[in-house]
Amino acid sequence: MMATIANKEMAAAWDGDEGAEWARDWERYDRAVAGYQARLMAAAAIGPAQRVLDVGCGNGETSRAAARQAAAGSVLGVDLSSSMLERARQLAATEGLANVRFEQADAQVQRFEPGAFDVVVSRFGTMFFADPVAAFTNLAGAIRPGGRIAMVAWQGPDQNEWLREIRGALAAGRTLPVPPAGSPGPFAQADPDHVRTVLTTAGFSDVTVEDAKEPFWLGTGTDDAFTFMSTGGMARGLLQDLDEPTRQRALDALRATLDRYAGAGGVALGSAVWVIAARIG
């Protein structure tokens, strides 16, 4: 159990059915964003004996990569999802990584030891804070002077073809609401100026926000991608209030959309993120 939870809404989502789905389909989710893994690790520049914190570690791919890079150091992965943390432990044990451990924690309020880490990393894990300034202030206190943070976070919906196309297919003629700018969720860090303001207010300096674009992989082919996307959380949320004929039209549109993007390497659509880095002191 987590000692303290400030982000109760996100904890309820991730430490429930959604987190269980991500733990079950960990290979697919890791492959979907594989293009950004190397970019994150390059920005983190983890040394062989450094202490690393992975925020929103999920199923632990970035934690394991950090543990291999910091072979003489240590890695702590934290997440709200008990299901994904269990998967992360299993995968680390399978690789024989003894220098990485995982804890269920809300990084916004977790009492980390001051200056305990050289590097904080996060792959799509810092967009869900209920209070970003409080969360990053807490993380800043956990980083030693001269230490750093490196993250990848989604750019806005307009820059992400995968979201535009899938939501458009499932809209079934409706105008779908867009989450308010800066609200907790996948696109909370889409505005670079907001990111810089939050990090600077929290005590970071030398903030950089760099554009990166990679394919977003959804499946080995149309059928595989459709089975995954039509049963996932996004589709369930967008389809739940539709009558059956409209629901079927939306699903047909989804299949047709995925088929348009199918190629020799599977189904992949365009995506865009920010690679964010900053320092303490």
Instruction: State both tokens at 133.
Output: 């300034």
**pLDDT for position 158:** 93
Look at residue 177 in the predicted model and tell me its pLDDT. Answer: 82
At 274 the pLDDT is 98
pTM of the predicted model as reported, rounded to 2 decimal places: 0.92
pLDDT at position 5, please?
60
CA-based diameter of the chain, in Å?
59
CATH class assigned to 8-156+179-215+272-280: alpha beta
Using one digit for the tens of pLDDT, what is the confidence trace for 197-216? 999 999 999 999 999 999 99
The predicted pLDDT at position 7 comes to 55
pLDDT of residue 25: 93
The residue ranges of the chain whose pLDDT is under 50 are 1-2
Query: What pLDDT was estimated at residue 227?
Result: 96
What does residue 8 show for φ and ψ, rounded to 5 degrees?
-65, -40
Residue spans of the domains in the chain: they are: 8-156+179-215+272-280
> CA–CA separation, 61 vs 123, rounded Å?
9
